[in-house]
Structure formats: structure tokens, C-alpha cells
């Protein structure tokens, strides 16, 4: 258990939504899953907890957690997705801050609240950040790998020039991009409700055409978009041919990184190669904003080889996210959560089997 220190101050559930959004701007590892809007829409405001760590009065770490209590009794689960945030923009990652976050998070949710604490870090295996997290959270257990907690993706390093990024594209991918640029296509973009509704129409056409199963709720993302502060809203790109939408893309850019969330091709755009132009246009926009890396949003070469090969063509690095870290001192909370996870694993296994039998299984990026 972390020892109280006058240098470090912990504040739990004391901030407003506006204050939380402002603090997100301080962190290079900020992401959409740690926004107040995502938590409220996805999990419900009453089920959230907001944790802030300060050093000498300065905010150095923050975490939004989902609290799950089956009853009013003192047991249940605290879930932290893609956090904690602890890398201040423009500064080196401080191992002491992460270590303190690990200790104080455990004190609050495992010690005081008697919950099963599950943390899905925003870190990829074999990176310096991952090594720092492993060291800081050494007192936590690593959850056993399963289909529900494995996230594999391509991450594109955006630090080099646009010319170099284009040269690094797979030859076939680059040729398709060139074809798209000659197809008379235009790209419009924005972050408003109108742009998102246009994307939804394209997405629903694709769903009807392919008849695939997915847990993605585009309406839910629309609610998140409406509630996000303007600076934090998702970017929507629509590719048109003679003003008719042929493809769409939704991505989130915060801090130093961006993540691809949703993509779709309309019935009119099957041969337009609009998805290639959309990705390249987004990369150009991310470069202009100073974004350092682009997460292409999840890959599964077995269930969805088409999407895998498309994303591979951008020549990013194939990486896996760290498996969840867990801690619990309550036998009741541990038993309840592990029983629930076991049932969930069986359901996910059955779902994966059903999807594998369909002609067009879709990969859920969320």
C-alpha cells in the first residue's frame, strides 16, 4: 500500500466534466476512452469514478474508471480502460508518477472500496512505456490472455516526412492510392453532427450489404460526439464522387496519438478506392496537428483477412497491447468478477465461432 506523502495529493470524484476535459489537454497519452463523454454515454455517469493525482499541486496523472456493483453491498469491480494518463505533453515519461498512480489506485479501489481492480493500460508490448508500466504495477497480476482482452493492431510512426511515409507504403497500396487520386474523388471533413450522420448512412449501407455481426453502436458514438468538447471531437472524413458519398472514416486524435475507430464504403463506392484516399488524407491532417503515432484500430488476420491486408499496406508496426493488470483483496469481489469473466469468455468464444462461419465476418475495433 502506498504511503501518504505531503508532496503527493489524491483527489477522487471532485472534478466537473469541464475541468476533466481541460486536464486531458495536459497529457500526451490522452485518448477518447478516458473522456468524460465516452464514460457517460458508454457506462452511465453514476457508474464513473474520476481519479486525479497531483504533485506539489500540479496535475501529473488522471484516470476515469467504471464502477460495477451488482448490489448495494461493498463488492464489485473497478475498470480502467486505456489509462491511467500520466505522460505530460512535452515532458519525458516519469516512472515515479506511474508508480505512485499504481499505488494510489490500489489504495482507493482495492483497499478502501474492496473492489476487483482491472486496468487495461494504453501501452504496447516491448515498448519503453510497457516496461515502465510493468515495473510500476509489479504488485498487480496479469490477466490470462483470451479473445476478449487481446488487442492487436498496426501503429504507424508519423515522425518522418510525408514523402517518406508515402515511399514506405506497400507498392500495391500506393498504386491503389494513386488510382484513387485519379478517380475524380474529393474529401470533405469536419467534426460536427451533420458529418457524422452522413457517415452513419454510409455505414448502414455497408451493414445491410455485408450482413455482418458487430457490437459497434454507431448511434452511441454519435452521442459521444455531441457531448465531447469541440477540441476533443472525433474527426469525420467523407470521400465523394460528383458529390455522392462513396466512403467514410471516423478517427480520434488526442495528445500525441490518434486511433482509427470506424470506416465504411457505400454501395456507390465499391470500385472508387475511396478508403485509400481517406486514410492518406487523414495522415496528412494528423501530421499537420503534430500527432506522433496513428493506431490503425485493430487487426485479425484470421477472422478478417481483407481488413488486415488493407491496414498492413500502410507499413505500420504490428504490436499487441499489454494484457489487463488486476488486483483484489476481497474474496467476494474476486469470486464475483472471475465468475462473470468466465461466463463472458464462453459467450465470446461462441460469438467468435459464429462469426467465423459467416461469409463476411467483421472485426469490431471498439
225 with 133, same domain: the answer is no
- Radius of gyration over every alpha carbon of the chain, rounded to an integer in angstroms: 21
**What percent of the chain lies above the pLDDT cut of 70?**
87
Task: Answer for the pair 83, 91: CB distance below 8 angstroms, yes or no.
Answer: no
Phi-psi group of 13: left, alpha or beta (phi > 0 → left; psi -120 to 50 → alpha; rest → beta): left
Residues facing residue 187 across a β-bridge: 239
12 and 70 co-located in one domain: yes
Range of the domain at 28: 8-147+322-356
Q: Is residue 365 part of a domain?
A: no
Q: Are residues 225 and 330 in the same domain?
A: no
Q: Are residues 130 and 165 in the same domain?
A: no
Grid coordinates belonging to 329: 483483496
Does residue 267 lie within any of the structural domains?
Answer: yes
Strands 257-265, 293-295: pairing kind? parallel
Same domain assignment for residues 98 and 186 = no
Do residues 185 and 314 both lie within one domain? Answer: yes
Within this chain, do residues 129 and 43 fall inside the same structural domain, yes or no? yes
Q: What are 105-143's pLDDT values in tens digits?
A: 999 999 999 999 999 999 999 899 999 999 999 999 998
Number of domains the chain is built from = 2
Summarize pLDDT for 238-260 with one digit per residue, the tens: 999 999 999 999 999 999 999 99
300 and 327 in a single domain? The answer is: no
Domain with 95 in it: what CATH number?
A: 3.40.630.30
Q: What pTM did the predictor assign?
A: 0.88
Q: For 245, which DSSP code?
A: E
Residue 361 lies in a domain: no
Paired sense of beta strands 48-55 and 58-68, if any:
antiparallel
Classified as helix, coil or strand, 181 is helix
CB 253 within 8 A of CB 239: no
All cell numbers assigned to 210: 455485408
Confidence of residue 104 (pLDDT cuts 50, 70, 90): very high
Amino acid at each position: 500500500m502506498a504511503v501518504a506523502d505531503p508532496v503527493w495529493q489524491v483527489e477522487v470524484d471532485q472534478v466537473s466534466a469541464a475541468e476533466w476535459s481541460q486536464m486531458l489537454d495536459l497529457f500526451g497519452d490522452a485518448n477518447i476512452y478516458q473522456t468524460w463523454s465516452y464514460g457517460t454515454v458508454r457506462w452511465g455517469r453514476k457508474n464513473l469514478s474520476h481519479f486525479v493525482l497531483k504533485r506539489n499541486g500540479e496535475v501529473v496523472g488522471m484516470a476515469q474508471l467504471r464502477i460495477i456493483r451488482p448490489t448495494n453491498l461493498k463488492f464489485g469491480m473497478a475498470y480502467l480502460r486505456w489509462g491511467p494518463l500520466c505522460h505530460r505533453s512535452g515532458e519525458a515519461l516519469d516512472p515515479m508518477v506511474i508508480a505512485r498512480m499504481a499505488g494510489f489506485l490500489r489504495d482507493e479501489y482495492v483497499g478502501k472500496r474492496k473492489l476487483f481492480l482491472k486496468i487495461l493500460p494504453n501501452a504496447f508490448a516491448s515498448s519503453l512505456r510497457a516496461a515502465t508500466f510493468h515495473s510500476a504495477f509489479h504488485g498487480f497480476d496479469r490477466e490470462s490472455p483470451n479473445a476478449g482482452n487481446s488487442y492487436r493492431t498496426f501503429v504507424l510512426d508519423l515522425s518522418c516526412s510525408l514523402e517518406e511515409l508515402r515511399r514506405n507504403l506497400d507498392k500495391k497500396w500506393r498504386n491503389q492510392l494513386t488510382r484513387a487520386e485519379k478517380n475524380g474523388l474529393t474529401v470533405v471533413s469536419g467534426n460536427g453532427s451533420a458529418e457524422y450522420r452522413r457517415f452513419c448512412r454510409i455505414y448502414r449501407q455497408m451493414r445491410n450489404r455485408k450482413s455482418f455481426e458487430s457490437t459497434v453502436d454507431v448511434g452511441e458514438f454519435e452521442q459521444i460526439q455531441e457531448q465531447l468538447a469541440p477540441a476533443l471531437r472525433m474527426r469525420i472524413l467523407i470521400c465523394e464522387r460528383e458529390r455522392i458519398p462513396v466512403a467514410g472514416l471516423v478517427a480520434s486524435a488526442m495528445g500525441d496519438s490518434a486511433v482509427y475507430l470506424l470506416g465504411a464504403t457505400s454501395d456507390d463506392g465499391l470500385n472508387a478506392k475511396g478508403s485509400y484516399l481517406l486514410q492518406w488524407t487523414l495522415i496528412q491532417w494528423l501530421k499537420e496537428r503534430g500527432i506522433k503515432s496513428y493506431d490503425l484500430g485493430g487487426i485479425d488476420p484470421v477472422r478478417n483477412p481483407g481488413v488486415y491486408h488493407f491496414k498492413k499496406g500502410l507499413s505500420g508496426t504490428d504490436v499487441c497491447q499489454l494484457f489487463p493488470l488486476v488486483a483484489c483483496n476481497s474474496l467476494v469481489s474476486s469470486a464475483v468478477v472471475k465468475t462473470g469473466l468466465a461466463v463472458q469468455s464462453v459467450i465470446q468464444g461462441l460469438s467468435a465461432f459464429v462469426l467465423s462461419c459467416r461469409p463476411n465476418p467483421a472485426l469490431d475495433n471498439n
